[in-house]
Structure 1
Amino acid sequence: AASEIPSALRIIAGNGAMGYHPTMFEWALAPGERFVSEPVFLYAFGGLVEQTISARSTPLDRAVEGPFQRFLSRHIGIVGERLPCDAPQWLTWANFGPDLNDAMIRQQADLAARAGFVQFLLDDGWQRDRLGTEPDTAKFPEFAATAEYIRSRGLKLGLWLSCFSDKDTPDLKALPDAHSLPVVTRLGGIAMSFTTPWREFYAQDLARLHDRYGAAYFKQDFSNIIYGDLAENHSNRTRKESLLRGLRGLLETQDRLRALAPDVMSQMTHEIYWDTPGSPCDLAALKHAARYHVSPNACGGIVSRGTSASAVDPQKVRAELLAACHQARQVFYSHRGLPLYCLEFYGAATEDHQGSLTAEVQDRQVVSWLLGAPLVFSGDLSTLSAEHLAHYQKRFSLVNRLHRSWDIYRHFQFSGVPAPNDADWHWWGKLNDGGCGTVIVVRGSGGAERRAINIPWVKPDRRYEVVALFSERRLGDFLGRQLQSTGVELTLPVFGQEILELVPAHTGGL
């Protein structure tokens, strides 16, 4: 069962019944009016439960990881599929919060470029009073020059914004009655309503930022729809009705922005889509927005600025970094019915404190976010050594080479292998339709030092060369059915990881 009803208004029962949440939905109809619901559908599948050497492979899992994803692409439409996977992404929030300025941004952009990041997001704090879309000239005297500098480092510029404005922002001046009622306030601003013509102003404003500053990505944040809108001159007849109208207006705004600026990457957070922590990602979100920022907001391993070195326990920080990697894998896996490359989980901490960020932890970060694509990294890059930056660059260059070769970000296989955990081994596939690409293997705190890694998703009659990329070892040539039945032997230390590349045997390896 699947539904395009958006956010918290969607209900799917265990028996497949679908509809609107009874306590959050109503629609008032006048004589002659009609209501058209969002599409819902049932997807049928069949097959046997098959036992592999490591787990059970169910027909549901096999359907979800393959044919169902193709169904979504062909019949629902996934916006992110039409845009490049700009990854990895680094954003400012984790250590800096809203305390941004030109000098700091230029420093971080230099370091982000050296580390191999592709996308650079100015999170909350670049606008005047953190509201609207006008730069804070006290922080950024020449914001166009700041934006140009970021792009000159080979980074794609992203900007954070919200649906809150104040009396000095152009939108509220132009549309003084377009705010929600009851009035919702945040940061001294008031929430604008997506049920009004303001949404056209908003879409055009973002397109203007794209044209003026070269912004290629917008992170849209903060809640307002959840509170409802009863303003007399708006289209809502009841507060409950305004919830669906507001969500529909938000999604229509994404479509309008795409029409105005087709190459822009639009992202919605779980907060603007409902609340914090908000609803999980859903089909409606990915049909209209290119990316979705999932909850919870967590970035383990960040140390507050100004903390003295004597107050930092590097072992504790390292444990937090590893726990964040496990959490990322759990969060991505919980969304496995959706195309994971469209999801952002915040985040992997790019900070080192007295040796807390080892090369092994960096590797753990890179592979953990590879259930989808390497989104999102954050933290003060000036705490990193040249060796840290070079190691990130090496790993990001590797995974982007794999994506160019095999389109790995857009694939995810999980049937017939252990589910994500941090106590033993588990692994997953990033293989294309020909069975080529990568298999990511991680070991947790326990399990045997050596074990067989079965790969159920290859073509049984095709011969593959398997190369362990982190350890730079060729493991040999294998017939697909051998990889499916007995697998390939691998040795890893506790909390170790490896990326296996599978290529047609005649093409060579590294």
Structure 2
Amino acid sequence: MSSLTPFARLDGDEFSLVLDLRADAAEPVYFGPSLPMAEDLASLCDVLRRGLHASQPDRPAPRSLLPWAGHGHLCAPSIVVQQNGRPLTLRMPLVAISQREGDLCLQHRDDALGLSVQIELRIAHGGLVEFSTQMQNQGTQPIGLISLASLTLPLPSWATHMVRYAGRWSGEMQQQRLALHQGAITSASYGGRPGFGGGNWVRIETAGTGELHGDALAAHLAWSGDHVLSVECNADGDATLTMAARLEPGEIMLAPGDTFCAPRALVAVSAQGIASLRHAFHAHVLGAVVPDTAASTPRKVHLNSWEALAFDQSLDKLCALADRAAALGIERFVLDDGWFAGRRDDTTSLGDWVADPGIFPEGLDPLIDHVRRSGMDFGLWVEPEMVSPDSALYRAHPDWCLYLPDHPRLTQRNQLVLDLTRPEVSGHLFACLDRLLADHAIAYLKWDHNRDLFPLAGKSHAQVVALYALLDRLRAAHPEVEIETCASGGGRVDLEILERCSRFWASDNNDPFERLQINAGWFDFLPMRIAGNHVGPSPNPITGRQVAMDFRAKVAMFGHMGVEADPGGMSAEDRQCLAAHIALYKQWRDVLHAGRLWRLSPADAGVHALLAMHEGRGIALIAQTRQAATYDEPHIRFPGLEDDALYRVALLPPYCEKAKGQLSQARTYAEGTVLSGRALRLAGISLPLQYPETAWLVSIERGADS
């Protein structure tokens, strides 16, 4: 007979989670807005419990946080183990709970097998709930772990739809809204990283949920390797969300006394629409995840050399490019791929991390000194986890890559993957990077990862853990250096790697039409402050689309702004336009990067509208990407303001020349007009958005007396 208390609750500032423990399991019966502390939990759990129907076990299995097979659970089990190649049948009841303020720990145990599973629920910064799950082998025989879910969450009855984030290279984080149905909606990655599909991010909601209304829940698996995500609906209409690291068979063997810690999962819940979830995740990322420099220091405008020069590098060309960058107001010059020994194309030299003497006969310092004299700091591209078969490193150590004996060593992008689990490999990489950072004034590393991991060689999980250790060691030695996580764009972006990185590269695709859509997905979870967002060339090298500088620059302002194009190839008018937007970004980046982010109505498929609001100041981007269905688009309305306060509303120059002549009150918009927060929320403003490639910047500033 269990001595557990019958109920437990976890309360944040704005939510309550109630667990029914009467069936020796942790069964969530309520997860939503805060309940009174005096709430009768027994009555609440009783009125929410369903009666039996004709086709159920006599004692229905509870919808618990740890379902296991063989107990009548109508969903996938949270835990699968084996011994000597045979599956083990578990009985894993809840045996103990402990609770402190903001923390609830649930202990499950199978006495016959000597296995225990602990699930800890902790209120994290921003009002998220962090789920941490670990399994320990307390028996006498080794046990093979096939899977252990980081999160198994029975979903509330209001859950009818999910938004998942699918995609591909150059088209990441595309939002797909699906109605839940009987069966499973599943996504997984198999390349040793989360991949371009974004399947470790998900939102659950009602049919009518919007920006400011409706029930919704968002979840994330903080893991930089392979994952599995599933939303499964059973025949009773119950839906369950499961998130887990995907493990290779035989990869995790637990000897007696060993413990396996699953990656963390984070969950936010809202009864006031999607915006509340966004704000909770943004607050969590800036307050508890990214390094302090990323959360507090101004985000410098970058120029990356890739689209300007690619492999066609020389000291003279790079210095001239740096001069052109400084003239625009650029604050950081980043030397991309092509700087190291023998690297003339993408077929060679990865792993040989010394400056090419043909380009830099005196090393990197002459370029770095030139960049710093120009008023910029210096950043450098590296891809430490990879090796070219045509490299000095591979010729010296062909066994340092991930491979299977007697199998061909298949390449991707002419690369193999270094086995970071080998201490000599990680030690060598640390020595190379440490030497670069110790010998040169390098403020930033663009850490790229351009290849899937295959073969995994039974080391998928261990490779990710070894990567974290390498990054931790490097950051401890050089805490002032900022690191960007890049994996051919957004192929490896999660909150675990962002604990070690100051920003992420959202996509290799700088086409502003595509970036608006890509960024919309990322901004559901991650703040603009850490999202690399650059002005690319026109025509765009990926889409071929030609886009005016005014539109490219306005879109790039809403993120961590940069330039990935050669200013020398721009017209004087484009350079002037770009410089004006860079100056505007510097003027407003405190608001862009510290403010709450709102998505504005209308939610027309062709209109992308965002507002960042901070301490009474706001800046909005309203961008039209296709021809409007009507001559006059619906008014743009602004949430996030104080109803009774007065705000000065103005359009920020430079204006889109194509649409400027259609402004109904050009002088009023230029000088600014004063409206109440209520009027801006309920009525809004009218802007000409008839043409594709039209973008406006709107400033909203609260009056001093408001």
TM-score normalized with structure 1 length: 0.77
**Structure 2 CA distance, aligned partners of 1:371 and 1:7?**
29
Q: Aligned AA for 2:475?
A: R
3-state DSSP of counterpart to 1:66: helix
One of 250, 254, 276 as aligned partner of 1:63? 276
**Structure 1 CA distance, aligned partners of 2:430 and 2:391?**
15
**Bigger radius of gyration:** 2
**Structure 1 CA distance, aligned partners of 2:391 and 2:373?**
29
**Native 8 Å contact 1:420 1:427 kept in 2:** no
Aligned residue in 1 for 2:704: 506
**Native 8 Å contact 2:617 2:701 kept in 1:** yes
Equivalent residues in 2 for 1:168-179, closer than 5 Å: 178-179=400-401
Residues 120 and 83 of structure 1: CA distance in aligned 2, closer, same or farther (over 3 Å)? farther
**Structure 2 CA distance, aligned partners of 1:373 and 1:187?**
28
3-state DSSP of counterpart to 2:443: strand
Aligned residue in 2 for 1:181: 403
3-state DSSP of counterpart to 1:452: coil
Task: Determine if the alignment matches structure 1 residue 257 to structure 2 residue 470.
Answer: no
**Structure 2 CA distance, aligned partners of 1:72 and 1:379?**
30
3-state DSSP of counterpart to 2:643: coil
Residues 352 and 151 of structure 1: CA distance in aligned 2, closer, same or farther (over 3 Å)? farther
One of 247, 251, 271 as aligned partner of 2:464? 247
**Native 8 Å contact 1:412 1:430 kept in 2:** yes
Aligned residue in 1 for 2:376: 155
**Native 8 Å contact 2:383 2:447 kept in 1:** yes
Equivalent residues in 2 for 1:420-435, closer than 5 Å: 421-422=605-606, 425-432=607-614, 434-435=615-616
**Structure 2 CA distance, aligned partners of 1:351 and 1:393?**
20
Structure 1 stretch 68-77 or stretch 119-128: which is displaced more? 68-77
Q: Aligned AA for 2:579?
A: Q
Residues 266 and 203 of structure 1: CA distance in aligned 2, closer, same or farther (over 3 Å)? farther
Aligned residue in 2 for 1:139: 359
Deviation at 1:189, TM superposition (A): 7.0
**Native 8 Å contact 1:461 1:480 kept in 2:** yes
Task: Determine if the alignment matches structure 1 residue 484 to structure 2 residue 681.
Answer: yes
Equivalent residues in 2 for 1:7-406, closer than 5 Å: 7-11=225-229, 13=231, 15-21=240-246, 26-47=251-272, 59=273, 61-77=274-290, 81-82=294-295, 84-130=297-343, 131=350, 132-142=352-362, 143-163=364-384, 164-165=386-387, 178-182=400-404, 191-197=417-423, 198-223=425-450, 226-228=453-455, 239-240=457-458, 242-271=459-488, 279=491, 281-295=493-507, 297-299=508-510, 324-335=511-522, 336-344=524-532, 348-349=536-537, 361-375=548-562, 377-404=563-590, 406=591
Aligned residue in 1 for 2:617: 436
Q: Aligned AA for 2:358?
A: A
**Native 8 Å contact 2:608 2:622 kept in 1:** yes
3-state DSSP of counterpart to 1:298: coil
Q: Aligned AA for 1:36?
A: C
**CA offsets 1:24-68 (integer angstroms, 9 cap, x no match):** 894122233221111123322223xxxxxxxxxxx1x12222233
Structure 1 stretch 126-135 or stretch 381-390: which is displaced more? 381-390
**Native 8 Å contact 2:648 2:700 kept in 1:** yes
Deviation at 1:77, TM superposition (A): 4.9
Residues 72 and 189 of structure 1: CA distance in aligned 2, closer, same or farther (over 3 Å)? closer
**Native 8 Å contact 1:419 1:426 kept in 2:** yes
**Structure 2 CA distance, aligned partners of 1:507 and 1:122?**
48
CA RMSD for the aligned pairs? 3.4
**CA offsets 1:171-225 (integer angstroms, 9 cap, x no match):** 7799886443345667887542222333344345334323322111111224466
**Native 8 Å contact 1:91 1:123 kept in 2:** yes
3-state DSSP of counterpart to 1:262: coil
**CA offsets 1:396-453 (integer angstroms, 9 cap, x no match):** 001111114x3x134452345234744xx33111112x34220111233224356522
**Native 8 Å contact 2:637 2:682 kept in 1:** yes
Deviation at 1:469, TM superposition (A): 0.9
**Native 8 Å contact 2:600 2:636 kept in 1:** no
Q: Aligned AA for 2:302?
A: Q
Deviation at 1:287, TM superposition (A): 2.2
**Structure 2 CA distance, aligned partners of 1:24 and 1:430?**
46
Residues 254 and 462 of structure 1: CA distance in aligned 2, closer, same or farther (over 3 Å)? farther
**Structure 2 CA distance, aligned partners of 1:108 and 1:76?**
35
Residues 43 and 222 of structure 1: CA distance in aligned 2, closer, same or farther (over 3 Å)? closer
**Structure 1 CA distance, aligned partners of 2:360 and 2:604?**
43
**Structure 2 CA distance, aligned partners of 1:25 and 1:158?**
41
**Native 8 Å contact 1:24 1:243 kept in 2:** no
Q: Which has the higher helix share?
A: 1
Aligned residue in 2 for 1:306: none
**Structure 2 CA distance, aligned partners of 1:112 and 1:502?**
30
Any unmatched runs of 5+ in structure 1? Answer: 48-58, 230-238, 272-276, 300-323
**Structure 2 CA distance, aligned partners of 1:328 and 1:458?**
27
One of 453, 459, 463 as aligned partner of 2:642? 459
**Structure 1 CA distance, aligned partners of 2:616 and 2:492?**
30
Deviation at 1:118, TM superposition (A): 1.9
Aligned residue in 2 for 1:310: none
Q: Aligned AA for 1:136?
A: D
Residues 265 and 174 of structure 1: CA distance in aligned 2, closer, same or farther (over 3 Å)? farther
**Structure 2 CA distance, aligned partners of 1:193 and 1:441?**
46
Residues 188 and 398 of structure 1: CA distance in aligned 2, closer, same or farther (over 3 Å)? closer
**Structure 2 CA distance, aligned partners of 1:127 and 1:337?**
36
**Structure 2 CA distance, aligned partners of 1:474 and 1:214?**
45
Residues 157 and 361 of structure 1: CA distance in aligned 2, closer, same or farther (over 3 Å)? same
3-state DSSP of counterpart to 1:460: coil
**CA offsets 1:222-262 (integer angstroms, 9 cap, x no match):** 44661256xxxxxxxxx33x111112222332222222112
Residues 361 and 225 of structure 1: CA distance in aligned 2, closer, same or farther (over 3 Å)? closer
**Structure 2 CA distance, aligned partners of 1:189 and 1:492?**
46
**CA offsets 1:326-358 (integer angstroms, 9 cap, x no match):** 1010111111222233223566216799xx999
Deviation at 1:135, TM superposition (A): 0.6
The percentage of aligned residue pairs carrying the same residue is 20
**Structure 2 CA distance, aligned partners of 1:496 and 1:507?**
34
**Structure 1 CA distance, aligned partners of 2:337 and 2:568?**
20
**Native 8 Å contact 2:304 2:564 kept in 1:** yes
Q: Aligned AA for 1:155?
A: M
Q: Aligned AA for 2:494?
A: D
**Native 8 Å contact 2:516 2:608 kept in 1:** no
Task: Determine if the alignment matches structure 1 residue 469 to structure 2 residue 652.
Answer: yes
**Structure 2 CA distance, aligned partners of 1:278 and 1:426?**
21
**Structure 2 CA distance, aligned partners of 1:136 and 1:83?**
35
